[in-house]
Amino acid sequence: MIQAESISVSYGSRLALKNVTFQSPSGSILGIVGPNGSGKTTLIRALSGVLPLQSGHIWVQGEDLSKLSPSERARRIAVVPQAVNLPPSFTTWETVLLGRTPHLNWLGQISEKDRLIARKAMERTNTLDLSERYVGELSGGEQQRLLLARALAQSAPVLLMDEPTAHLDLHHQLNLLQEIRTLAHDDGFTVLMVLHDLNLVARFADRVALLVEGKLQPPGRPEEVLTAENLSKVYRVPLQTLLVGKGRHPVILPAGY
Amino acid sequence: MGTPNAYRPYLLSILLLAAMIFLSIAVGSVFIPLEKILQVIGQRLRGIPPELRSTDLSPFDTILFDLRLPRTAMTALVGAALACSGGAYQGLFRNPLADPYLIGVASGAGLGAMVAISFHWPRTFLGLLAVPVSAFVGAMFTVLAVYTLSKVGRSVPPSTLILAGVAVSSFASALTSFLLIHASGEIRRAIHWLLGGAMMSGWQPVLAVLPYILGGCAVLLAMGHALNVLQFGDEQAQQLGLPAVWVRRVVITAASLATAAAVSFSGIIGFVGLVVPHIVRLVWGSDYRRLLSLALINGAAFLLAADILARSILAPEELPVGIITALAGAPFFLWVLRRAKQQNMW
């Protein structure tokens, strides 16, 4: 469970997050959507503890994030970053093992247990057969799954994801999100994910919140939040929604189709 | 990973180093065969007092213990320090062109050492121990200057790193030259020192650099895992639980200490820190835990080989070893540059 209590973050004089408050309980997926530049990546960075807060508090499993050391933080929160600029000359296996960093001693000695956990993380993400391949040779989708494997190897209960489906084709998008849903619903992970694709958020997130110009609107069920009225205002284009399937998931389309 | 194959690189490297140590001891104006080397060392190990030692062996004993062994030890230590710190700088700056020579750390250390030498500190052993410290101060100044100058946002692009390195290095070299001309009495020796390779002879300088090089390299070897994590950038490193800022400080300090100690008594020897880690990376991969220790062993072997060449090419005249490493290293540098360009690193 991760909780933000009116956090504000600024870059120089520009306020990037303004009094953001929310709560993301374990066992569910909170999707964050919003236009470009609304502060989505900043929110992920702040929640992972790498950006100083101007004000407010972040609580992870009941503990104040700012009071934790980097390794204590990383044992509670794992980040799946966007797959860009990864060092090309490590193998997949070496990269996933680095997820064990917060559990290692200062020499970075890796035990059999660490290897076992890394291997399990790779099994779950279908990356085991990539073990010996170099990261530079992998496709965008493979790199994204590799980063999810590395995050799982951290054994942290909270997963923060920044556009995990950005480089994936439809098949891989759906597979990855299905896997993430299993992680939340069956394994009890707290998942907070930033996504651009409104339809994927609508389909896979348990709750959704809109981030607009650094302000987070109250989270709610997808069909409550992703309404034509809300979205048309936020994205400044006329949009319509249809409710489909037995789950009555909203599907968002430009108006007039 | 934990397979028997993991030891093979070490075995090969140690064999290579052993061969170079043997050649370095054996080759020179007088060739000393292995059998004699073993006899002389055996004599000493058994603690036979000088007056009882075989007179046949005594010229060999003198050459070995007064000249070749200290020189071999010094060369191996310097090569190990330069290669290990070069590998660490490359990891730290996430930049394949970082090398103690190219980023100006060596020149800064040279200036620091020159200041100490021009004050005639090396007359006592304590003064000798202080030379690497003075060189270390010079090295830290240059590395921080170069880092600050070449940083663009949150990264250090290869081009600006090298440009800042050249500028800061030229500045330090100019100051060093000024001091050299000022201290005209020992000018010849000092110029030779500056070219690299006019190592001060005897055991004392070896003992004076030993603690700094051992200490610096030991810290670097312990930071292998941290350097691996740092390859993903400071932000991801922090998210993986690494205190990135602290790690950077420790690595910069340890690498600069090892470089400074190496430069103190052997002058500025370029390209060892570039060539050796690169070859190790090409052959055995980028895992810094392995890379740094293998660079250390092979750096010692590489500089010993260069030193043997420097002594043999124009024998009995000796070339500064820095000429050999530059002749081998500069074309290698250009090759790396081309490769980096092809991979769109600029």
The residue extents of the domains of chain B are 20-342
Tokens of B158: 């290869």
pLDDT band at A249 (very low <50, low <70, confident <90, very high): confident
In angstroms, rounded to a whole number, what is the distance separating the alpha carbons of residues B7 and B276? 19
Interface with B, mutate which of A72, A76, A101, A162 (most B CBs under 10 A): A101
**Better pLDDT: B245 or A209:** A209
What residues of chain A lie within 8 A of the CB of B91, using their CB?
A: none
What pLDDT digit, counting tens, does each position of B133-183 carry?
888 999 999 988 988 888 877 666 767 888 888 899 999 989 888 887 776
What residues of chain A lie within 8 A of the CB of B232, using their CB?
A: 86-87, 98
In angstroms, rounded to a whole number, what is the distance separating the alpha carbons of residues A40 and A47? 11
Q: Do A227 and A54 meet the contact criterion of CB atoms below 8 Å apart?
A: no
Whether residue B94 lies within 8 A of chain A, CB to CB, comes out as: yes
Residue B195 has a pLDDT of: 55
Residue whose tokens read 């390209």: B271
In angstroms, rounded to a whole number, what is the distance separating the alpha carbons of residues B44 and B96? 45
| Inter-chain touch A89–B281, beta carbons under 8 Å | yes
Tokens of A245: 């399937």
When computed from its CA atoms, the radius of gyration of chain B, rounded to whole angstroms, is 20
Rounded to a whole number of angstroms, the distance between the first and last alpha carbons of chain B is: 33
Please report how the helices B187-195 and B158-182 are oriented relative to each other, as an axis angle in degrees rounded to 10.
170
When computed from its CA atoms, the radius of gyration of chain A, rounded to whole angstroms, is 18
Residue B121 has a pLDDT of: 61
Whether residue B285 lies within 8 A of chain A, CB to CB, comes out as: yes
Taking CA atoms, B92 is separated from B104, B232, B246, in Å, by 15, 11, 12
Which of A82, A102, A101, A84 is closest to A193 using CA atoms?
A82
Residue B191 has a pLDDT of: 56
Distant-in-sequence, close-in-space partners of A86: CB < 8 Å, separation ≥ 6: A95, A135, A136, A143, A147, B232
Taking CA atoms, A247 is separated from A33, A170, A203, A244, B144, in Å, by 20, 20, 9, 7, 59
Whether residue B292 lies within 8 A of chain A, CB to CB, comes out as: no
Whether residue B345 lies within 8 A of chain A, CB to CB, comes out as: no
Residue B2 has a pLDDT of: 45
Alpha helices by DSSP H, listed for chain A, are 40-47, 70-76, 92-97, 112-124, 140-153, 170-185, 198-204, 222-225, 228-235
What pLDDT digit, counting tens, does each position of A63-97 carry?
999 999 999 999 999 999 988 888 888 999 999 99
Length of chain B: 346
Residue B304 has a pLDDT of: 95
In angstroms, rounded to a whole number, what is the distance separating the alpha carbons of residues A82 and A95? 15
Q: Do B216 and B252 meet the contact criterion of CB atoms below 8 Å apart?
A: no
Q: Do A127 and A157 meet the contact criterion of CB atoms below 8 Å apart?
A: no
In angstroms, rounded to a whole number, what is the distance separating the alpha carbons of residues A20 and A44? 12
> How much is the ipTM here?
0.92
User: Closest Cα of chain A to B235: distance in Å?
Assistant: 7
pLDDT band at B192 (very low <50, low <70, confident <90, very high): low
User: Closest Cα of chain A to B88: distance in Å?
Assistant: 16
Whether residue B19 lies within 8 A of chain A, CB to CB, comes out as: no
Taking CA atoms, B103 is separated from A128, A133, B209, B275, B295, in Å, by 40, 33, 22, 14, 18
In angstroms, rounded to a whole number, what is the distance separating the alpha carbons of residues A2 and A60? 5
In angstroms, rounded to a whole number, what is the distance separating the alpha carbons of residues A2 and A58? 7
Say if residue B316 is preceded by a cis peptide, omega within 30 of 0. Answer: yes
- Count CB-CB contacts under 10 A for residue A66: 12
What pLDDT digit, counting tens, does each position of B74-86 carry?
999 999 999 999 9
Contacts by A221-230, CB closer than 8 A, 24 or more apart:
A222/A31, A222/A249, A222/A250, A223/A248, A223/A249, A223/A250, A226/A33, A226/A198, A226/A201, A226/A202, A226/A250, A226/A252, A228/A252, A228/A255
Chain B nearest-CA residue for A71: B241
- Give CA B168 to chain center in angstroms: 20
Q: Do A135 and A87 meet the contact criterion of CB atoms below 8 Å apart?
A: yes
Residue A66 has a pLDDT of: 92
Whether residue A214 lies within 8 A of chain B, CB to CB, comes out as: no
In angstroms, rounded to a whole number, what is the distance separating the alpha carbons of residues A195 and B228? 29
Lowest pLDDT segment from A4-8, A26-30, A169-173: A169-173
What residues of chain A lie within 8 A of the CB of B225, using their CB?
A: 101, 104, 107-108
Tokens of B239: 């998210």
| Inter-chain touch A101–B242, beta carbons under 8 Å | yes
| Inter-chain touch A90–B231, beta carbons under 8 Å | yes
| Inter-chain touch A98–B232, beta carbons under 8 Å | yes
For the residues of B61-123, what is the DSSP string, one character each? Answer: HHIIIIIIHHHHHHHHHHHHHHHHHHHHHHHHHT-TT--TTTTTHHHHHHHHHHHHHHTTGGG
Whether residue A75 lies within 8 A of chain B, CB to CB, comes out as: yes
pLDDT band at B1 (very low <50, low <70, confident <90, very high): very low
Closest by Cβ to B240, choosing from A45, A93, A99: A99
What residues of chain B lie within 8 A of the CB of A85, using their CB?
A: 233
Please compute, for residue B98, the number of CA atoms within 13 A of its CA located in the half-sphere on the CB side. Answer: 24
- Domain definitions of chain A by residue range: 2-221
In angstroms, rounded to a whole number, what is the distance separating the alpha carbons of residues A234 and A211? 9
pLDDT band at B285 (very low <50, low <70, confident <90, very high): confident
Please say if the pLDDT value at position B128 is more than 80.
Answer: no
Q: Do B97 and B161 meet the contact criterion of CB atoms below 8 Å apart?
A: yes
Please say if the pLDDT value at position A162 is more than 80.
Answer: yes
What pLDDT digit, counting tens, does each position of A215-233 carry?
999 999 998 999 888 888 8
DSSP-based three-state secondary structure for A190: strand
In angstroms, rounded to a whole number, what is the distance separating the alpha carbons of residues B191 and A59? 63
Chain A nearest-CA residue for B227: A108
Whether residue A108 lies within 8 A of chain B, CB to CB, comes out as: yes
Rounded to a whole number of angstroms, the distance between the first and last alpha carbons of chain A is: 40
Q: What percentage of residues in chain A have a pLDDT greater than 70?
A: 100
Query: Which CATH superfamily, name and number, covers B20-342?
Result: ABC transporter involved in vitamin B12 uptake, BtuC (1.10.3470.10)
Which of A52, A117, A105, A111 is closest to A78 using CA atoms?
A117
Whether residue A81 lies within 8 A of chain B, CB to CB, comes out as: yes
In angstroms, rounded to a whole number, what is the distance separating the alpha carbons of residues A1 and A244? 30
State mean pLDDT over B26-33.
Answer: 83
Task: Give contacts of B 197-256 with A, CB under 8 A.
Answer: 222, 224-226, 228-229, 231-233, 235-236, 238-244
Q: Do A164 and A193 meet the contact criterion of CB atoms below 8 Å apart?
A: yes
Residue A256 has a pLDDT of: 73
Please say if the pLDDT value at position A110 is more than 50.
Answer: yes
What residues of chain A lie within 8 A of the CB of B242, using their CB?
A: 70-71, 101
For the residues of B296-327, what is the DSSP string, one character each? Answer: HHHHHHHHHHHHHHHHHTTTTS---HHHHHHH
Interface with A, mutate which of B223, B240, B290 (most A CBs under 10 A): B240
Length of chain A: 257
Contacts by A110-114, CB closer than 8 A, 24 or more apart:
none
Q: Write down the architecture of domain A2-221 according to CATH.
A: 3-Layer(aba) Sandwich (3.40)
Residue B346 has a pLDDT of: 42
